[in-house]
Amino acid sequence: MTRTINPDYIRGDLYTQRFEQGKRENTLILNMGPQHPSTHGVLRVVLEMDGEYIVRAEPVLGYLHRMHEKMAEVKSYVGFMPNMGRVDYLHPLAWNWSYAGAVERLAGIEVPRRAEFLRVIATELNRISSHLLWWGAYLLDLGAFTPIMYAFEDREILMDILQRPTGARLTYSYFRLGGVGADMDERCLRQILDFVPYLRKKLPVYKDLVTDNVILRKRLEGVGDMDVDMCRRYGATGPILRGAGLASDTRLNETYSVYNEIDFDIPSFPETDAMARYMVRIREIEESLKIVEQAVAMIPEGEILIKGAPKPNWKAPAGEAYFATEGARGKVGVWVVSDGGKSPYRIKLRAPGFSNLSLFAEASQGTLLADAVAIMGSIDMVIPEIDR
């Protein structure tokens, strides 16, 4: 009996078939991912290679699509909050805030002042932990194993701090519609204040260990140009845009909560390369520490949740609202449409990673494959957020 081979199987799957060869001859089509360690999850990039140079790159998404937007349509307003902790597992509190903010804007709920400060403190601490993990993992991509150990040592303290009020170490669901879930007591605030000088002392060590390292500089400087024009075309936000020299930050440009009362800078570097994006994130850790320090000093006494906060059977008024916050990766937006029922009519999640990834295809053209890894890492991708 002869064995029949499915001709489609030889030709590859849908994406490989549609990925046509370019004008040049003798190019090689190569799949990077979905199980490639430098793609941080399940991103797949189909590459057209000319020797070691990339002619074309095309990211293929959807391996981690979990229908978060659709799930919102069958859940109560309160019941959708745990989902927000799981969209972007590295900076879940920004998503918590975007969703809570959108529903609060829709229903006209005023958040107590203490809760606003608690939100700021928790979100900024979470931003630091996100940047620290990115820092370690990015250098792991580039071939340096040690830094992730240092990053995790500090991150562990942050997770211990955030565990007490939020109840989790990774997928936080801390915010409530109209406030936060739990208060931070004296001990917790003191822990945070102790952590700020600790990390400030650690950052110069990281500069010595990694940032000034000649190997890192040679690998990152001048690699992966993403200028302001390209950022505008694809809608890139966050450290990528600031790494292109435009100091744009949702926290100040479309200020929300109490950020306008806090004194902090928006770091931006005009070099447009991977090193600029690296520097932006390192500077952002310092700025976040500044914000945390001020917020802890300014925090007033009072309620943490409004009286009569929405219960699971709460009905939102009909209408629609959009709220955007600054996540670790860029602008996190949630758009809520309500028809007056118990669950949202439609929710749109604007993930910064999705727009940021779009730049990769263009920026990686003509670079070495090893540089493509450096560019991909400098975008700081979180695949669950991109696929949602």
Partner 1 sequence: MNALKSFWKNIASLWSLIVGLQVTGKAFCGPQVTVHYPRQTVGPEGLEGFRGHMELVPSVKDPAIPKCISCMMCATSCPSKCLTVVKQKEPKPTEEQLKAMAEAEARGEKVKKLSAPKNPAQFIYDFSLCSFCNTCVENCPVGSIRFTTNVYFATTNKADLQMNLVERLAKQAASGKTVPGEKPKKAAKTETAQSEA
Residue 195 or 360: the one with the smaller Cβ distance to partner 1 is: 195
Residue 150 or 354: the one with the smaller Cβ distance to partner 1 is: 150
Tell me the C-alpha distance between 74 and 72, whole Å: 5
Q: Any bridge partners for residue 54, and if so which?
A: 49
117-146: contacts with partner 1 (CB under 8 A): 146
Q: Please work out the total of residues on this chain that contact partner 1, with binding judged by CB under 8 A.
A: 38
Task: Candidates 45-53, 135-143, 153-161, 235-243: pick the segment binding partner 1 (CB under 8 A).
Answer: 153-161
Task: Candidates 39-47, 56-64, 164-172, 259-267: pick the segment binding partner 1 (CB under 8 A).
Answer: 164-172
* 372 is an interface residue for partner 1 by CB under 8 A: no
Task: Candidates 19-27, 117-125, 167-175, 293-301: pick the segment binding partner 1 (CB under 8 A).
Answer: 167-175
Q: Which of 214, 263, 300, 301 binds partner 1 (CB under 8 A)?
A: 214
Q: Which of 8, 13, 52, 208 binds partner 1 (CB under 8 A)?
A: 208
Tell me the C-alpha distance between 364 and 262, whole Å: 38
Site string for partner 1, 218-257 (x = CB under 8 A): ----------------------------------------
What's the burial of 131, exposed, middle or buried (CB within 10 Å: 0-12/13-18/19+)? buried
Residues 136, 151 contacting (CB under 8 angstroms): yes
The one-letter code for the residue type at 268 is S
Task: Candidates 128-136, 231-239, 305-313, 374-382: pick the segment binding partner 1 (CB under 8 A).
Answer: 305-313
User: Token digits for 327?
Assistant: 């996540």
32-61: contacts with partner 1 (CB under 8 A): none
Least Cα distance to 123 among 184, 78, 64, 186 occurs for 184
67-86: contacts with partner 1 (CB under 8 A): 75-76, 78-83, 85-86
Tell me the C-alpha distance between 242 and 270, whole Å: 8
Could you tell me the smallest distance in angstroms from the CB atom of residue 252 to partner 1? Answer: 31
User: Token digits for 316?
Assistant: 């939102």
Residue 238 or 344: the one with the smaller Cβ distance to partner 1 is: 344
Tokens 């906060």, residue? 309
User: Distance between the two ends of the chain, CA-based, in angstroms?
Assistant: 47
82-111: contacts with partner 1 (CB under 8 A): 82-83, 85-86
Residue 181 or 238: the one with the smaller Cβ distance to partner 1 is: 181
* 190 is an interface residue for partner 1 by CB under 8 A: no
Work out the number of other CB atoms within 10 angstroms of the CB of residue 309.
15
Could you tell me the smallest distance in angstroms from the CB atom of residue 103 to partner 1? Answer: 15
Contacts of 111 by beta carbon, 8 Å cutoff, 6+ apart: 104, 119, 178, 179, 257, 306
Q: In what order do the strands lie in the sheet with 331-338?
A: 319-326, 331-338, 346-350
Tell me the C-alpha distance between 137 and 155, whole Å: 13
Task: Candidates 40-48, 123-131, 157-165, 254-262: pick the segment binding partner 1 (CB under 8 A).
Answer: 157-165
Contacts of 240 by beta carbon, 8 Å cutoff, 6+ apart: 226, 231, 277, 330, 356, 359, 379
* 384 is an interface residue for partner 1 by CB under 8 A: no
| Chain positions contacting partner 1, by CB under 8 A | 75-76, 78-83, 85-86, 146, 150, 153, 156-157, 160, 163-169, 171, 173, 181-182, 205, 208-210, 212-215, 311-313
